[in-house]
Amino acid sequence: MDIHTGSRTWHAHAKINLALHVTGRRPDGYHLIESLAVFTRFGDRVEIALAEDDDFVVSGRYAPAVPVDASNLVLRARDALRQAVGQEKTPPVSIKLEKNLPVASGVGGGSSDAAAVLRGLVEIWALDIDGVELARIGLSLGADVPMCLAAKPLVARGIGDELSMVPDFSTLGLVLVNPGRSVLTADIFAALARRDNEALPQLPRSIDFHSLRNWLEITRNDLEPAAIAMQPAIGRALSWLNKAGSGFSRMSGSGATCFGLFETGNVAKRAAAQIRGRQPDWFVAATRSIASEGADGQN
């Protein structure tokens, strides 16, 4: 008999590294970074309900690329939280993942899915657990999970686990483009010419389209040159964004997803339609970023 009491849905927002500087390397091999990241309204969706037995189903455009075994971060997040609080407080759940983001594409899709599951299960299971403990569990799953739990404009340092929230950060109009080619993060880092680059410059006092564009011009994604060398289609994606009128274009994370910055959400939608018309097989999405607490969310 099905005992679920109704399902709820959580958004798994795409993570966009607006700038990413590689600043060093730890003895254990982990790279040190400084990154300004925002999270978009477009992303995956996670639906969770109590059930008689644990269940996991994946749908959506990119479902065929998603493993459904214990290697999936969604299931690892469920199991890590269950282990942390105890079996008696964590009855079986049905988890449905709608995979709208390309897999392994530099936008933190898997990490954001895991973060959404952690947030959702805390509510479904009515757990008394604070954000610090949840972030600790998230970090055990991957360096990007704590920032995906925060899902607001932030600067990430260390291996990505030292987070500083950025105030007064307005909503941005963005277009995301992925040419359907994959690059391995480990290969990109291995190909870096240097790993001791300078840190991010100081952020503007207030961030909007114009101040951010000017700031981005003096920053980098240190992974982008190596990624383009390995996968020239990334360069073509950036070129299409520029042709469509992007105010600033760059690769996110280790690629291959690129973003274009647009002054309004409506301009971004027109640009996305233009690129989609010329590259119908690519992943193209117009979206808006999530503003910081108290910032103007309109753009």
The Cα 141–Cα 144 span in angstroms is: 9
Amino acid, res. 167: P
Mean pLDDT of the chain: 94
The Cα 291–Cα 64 span in angstroms is: 32
CA angle 55, 56, 61 (to 5 degrees): 155
The Cα 104–Cα 191 span in angstroms is: 18
Catalytic residue numbers, as ranges: 15, 144
Contacts of 238 (CB under 8 A, 6+ apart): 249, 250, 251, 258
| pTM of the predicted protein model | 0.94
Interval 82-123: pLDDT, tens: 999 999 999 999 999 999 999 989 999 999 999 999 999 999
Cα dist. 56→51, 95, 102, 180, 208 in Å? 11, 5, 19, 26, 40
Q: For the chain, what percent of residues have pLDDT higher than 90? A: 89
Mean pLDDT of 147-156: 97
Interval 155-207: pLDDT, tens: 999 999 899 999 999 999 999 999 998 888 889 999 998 899 999 999 998 88
Nearest partner of 39 among 59, 14, 18, 21, judged by Cα: 14
Q: For the chain, what percent of residues have pLDDT higher than 70? A: 97
**pLDDT at 1 exceeding the cut of 70:** no
Interval 17-28: pLDDT, tens: 999 999 999 998
